[in-house]
């Protein structure tokens, strides 16, 4: 029975011009988005590997230098682009792509694409996620808003009732009637995306499982919207009102809520400005060891302690170069300061994230958006993870430089030069993204919220249709 109703609904929907036009448009948009994203992804990836190669050769071929000068010269860490970013580009446009790694200083990722683009880019890009998360729900509303109101307006609802069809079966039939066309559009996109991704050279990072999970999340999201659409349609007598109400719901959950949550998060847990942040760090640095300034009180204290430890009375008599040692101690100290301040920043970010997680109760769009970005590894958490890995690499690199200087040169000998043997002994920066188990664990709350939306909207729909009046 359910299937029969679903087929009837499907036939009716497909026969309507409105459906055909929108479905074809939607499909064309998705295809275009997929192709355009793919070409973008390929070109960005090519740039990335070229930049990575350049940075490495710059580092290795920097010529003879004092190791500490080499640490100042530094190198770059580049953020890899993951295959799934071609479905959802997430916040990638707004985070920097490269981090300059140098002695004494932790730098922020630089060169976010959005900064070089015009204000137009703030409207959003035609990427698959834009169509899948924004437009498909509109499509669902468009084909489903009059599912019940139409029957009511033409009086067929009473007829159906007299035939003895249970309203729940009727509802399930209508539900499937909307879900099937959506599935019909989503499946080819899924298959195509899988084909694209499988043909990308660095296949290593891509897993079909993640793509399937991603589409699973989208399908749950669509189910929520179908529930809401049918729920509203069963409440109203007139199609017009049902449509306007649904549109309002779409607007609030997809357009307004993200922005309202942002305003709340920003109000409750504001980020420091770049300069404030830098000044707090500078203030802390001033108090502590300064690797370049042997007159600093902290440095003086360390000198006394070290001399005592080695039982000598001047730094010249130490078995290593005091300058190199002091600079490494200073480096450790600044690294701790950066760690502390970045931890504070991270606390703010976690608090902001929690605001979004609680407002997700008011909009199914939010948990879907966050899950989608997380699975595609284009969310802010992935960026943090990358930045932390780069920082660890920086500490290691600078430590190796200072260590070499301490071990192989004498105090006051700034003419000591190391060469490419030392440079190439530093391993290239390799970044392994967090495992999917961790990603899922980090997003449990989003997953639960989305599932709660699914269950509650089903329950609401059930409640509404079983009490539905036929007139």
Which parts of 2-41 interact with another protein (CB under 8 A)?
Answer: 18, 22, 29, 32-33, 36-37, 39-40
What residues from 243 to 262 belong to the interface with another protein (CB under 8 A)? 243-244, 247, 251, 255-256, 258-262
CA Rg value for the chain: 30
User: What sign for the dihedral angle of Cα 351, 353, 359, 360?
Assistant: negative
CB atoms within 10 A of CB 457: 20
φ/ψ of 73, rounded to 5, equals -60, -45
Rounded Cα–Cα distance for residues 457 and 124 (Å): 29
Minimum distance between the CB of residue 142 and another protein, rounded to whole angstroms?
6
Residue 343 interacts with another protein (CB under 8 A)? no
For CA atoms 356, 361, 364, 367, the dihedral sign is: positive
Stretch that binds another protein, among 275-283, 412-420, 441-449, 455-463 (CB under 8 A): 275-283
CB of 330 to another protein, least distance (A): 17
Taking the least distance from each CB to another protein, the nearer of 315 and 387 is 387
8 A C-beta contact, residue 189 and residue 37: no
- Per CB under 8 A, 298 contacts another protein: no
Task: Decide if residue 126 touches another protein (CB under 8 A).
Answer: yes
3-class DSSP assignment, residue 172: helix
Site for another protein in 89-118 (CB under 8 A): 90-91, 93-98, 108, 110-118
Choose, by CB under 8 A, the member of 13, 67, 70, 78 that binds another protein.
78
Shortest Å, Cβ 422 to another protein:
18
Place of tokens 């920086």: 394
How far apart (Å, rounded) are the C-alpha atoms in residues 325 and 319? Answer: 11
**Interface with another protein: number of residues (CB under 8 A):** 87
User: In the set 167, 234, 352, 402, which binds another protein (CB under 8 A)?
Assistant: 352
Reading the block at residue 57, the tokens are: 């050769």
- Residue window 139-168: x/- pattern of binding to another protein, with contact defined by CB under 8 A: ---x---x----------------------
Give the CA distances from residue 69 to residues 10, 175, 258, 331, 449, in Å, rounded to whole numbers and listed in that order. 71, 68, 47, 14, 52
CB 267 within 8 A of CB 359: no
| Residue number with CB closer to another protein (267 or 421) | 267
Of 182-211, binders to another protein (CB under 8 A) are none
Stretch that binds another protein, among 127-135, 195-203, 206-214, 305-313 (CB under 8 A): 127-135
Site for another protein in 375-434 (CB under 8 A): 379-380, 383
């Amino acid at each position: 029975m359910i299937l029969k109703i679903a087929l009837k609904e499907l036939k009716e929907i497909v026969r309507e011009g409105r459906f055909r036009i929108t479905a074809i448009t939607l499909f064309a948009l998705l295809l275009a988005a997929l192709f355009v994203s793919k070409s973008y992804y390929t070109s960005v990836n090519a740039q990335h590997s070229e930049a990575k190669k350049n940075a490495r050769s710059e580092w290795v071929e920097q010529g003879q230098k004092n190791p500490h000068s080499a640490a100042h010269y530094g190198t770059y860490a580049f953020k890899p682009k993951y295959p799934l970013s071609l479905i959802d580009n997430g916040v990638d446009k707004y985070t920097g792509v490269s981090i300059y790694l140098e002695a004494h200083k932790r730098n922020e990722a630089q060169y976010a694409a959005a900064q070089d683009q015009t204000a137009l880019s703030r409207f959003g890009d035609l990427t698959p996620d834009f169509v899948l998360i924004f437009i498909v729900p509109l499509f669902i509303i468009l084909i489903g808003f009059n599912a019940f109101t139409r029957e009511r307006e033409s009086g067929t609802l009473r007829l159906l009732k007299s035939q003895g069809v249970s309203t729940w079966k009727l509802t399930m039939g209508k539900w499937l009637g909307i879900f099937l066309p959506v599935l019909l559009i989503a499946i080819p996109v899924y298959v195509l995306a899988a084909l694209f991704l499988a043909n990308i050279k660095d296949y290593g990072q891509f897993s079909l499982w993640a793509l399937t999970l991603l589409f699973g999340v989208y399908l749950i999201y669509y189910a929520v919207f179908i529930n809401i659409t049918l729920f509203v349609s069963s409440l109203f007598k007139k199609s017009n009102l049902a449509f306007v109400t649904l549109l309002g719901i779409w607007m609030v959950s997809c357009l307004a809520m993200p922005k309202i949550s942002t305003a709340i998060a920003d109000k409750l847990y504001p980020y420091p400005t770049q300069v404030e942040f830098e000044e707090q760090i500078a203030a802390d640095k001033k108090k502590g060891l300064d690797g370049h300034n042997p007159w600093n009180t902290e440095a003086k204290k360390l000198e006394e302690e070290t001399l005592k430890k080695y039982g000598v009375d001047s730094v010249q008599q130490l078995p290593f170069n005091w300058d190199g040692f002091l600079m490494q101690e200073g480096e450790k100290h600044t690294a701790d300061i950066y760690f502390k301040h970045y931890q504070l920043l991270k606390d703010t970010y976690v608090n902001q994230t929690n605001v979004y997680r609680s407002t997700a109760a008011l909009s199914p769009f939010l948990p879907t958006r966050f899950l989608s970005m997380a699975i595609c590894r284009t969310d802010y958490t992935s960026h943090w993870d990358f930045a932390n890995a780069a920082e660890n690499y920086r500490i290691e690199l600078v430590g190796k430089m200072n260590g070499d200087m301490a071990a192989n040169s004498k105090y006051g000998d700034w003419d000591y030069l190391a060469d490419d043997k030392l440079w190439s002994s530093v391993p290239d920066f390799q970044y392994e993204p967090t495992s999917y188990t961790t990603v899922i664990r980090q997003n449990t709350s989003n997953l639960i919220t989305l599932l709660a939306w699914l269950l509650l909207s089903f329950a609401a729909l059930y409640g509404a249709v079983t009490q539905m009046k036929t007139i």
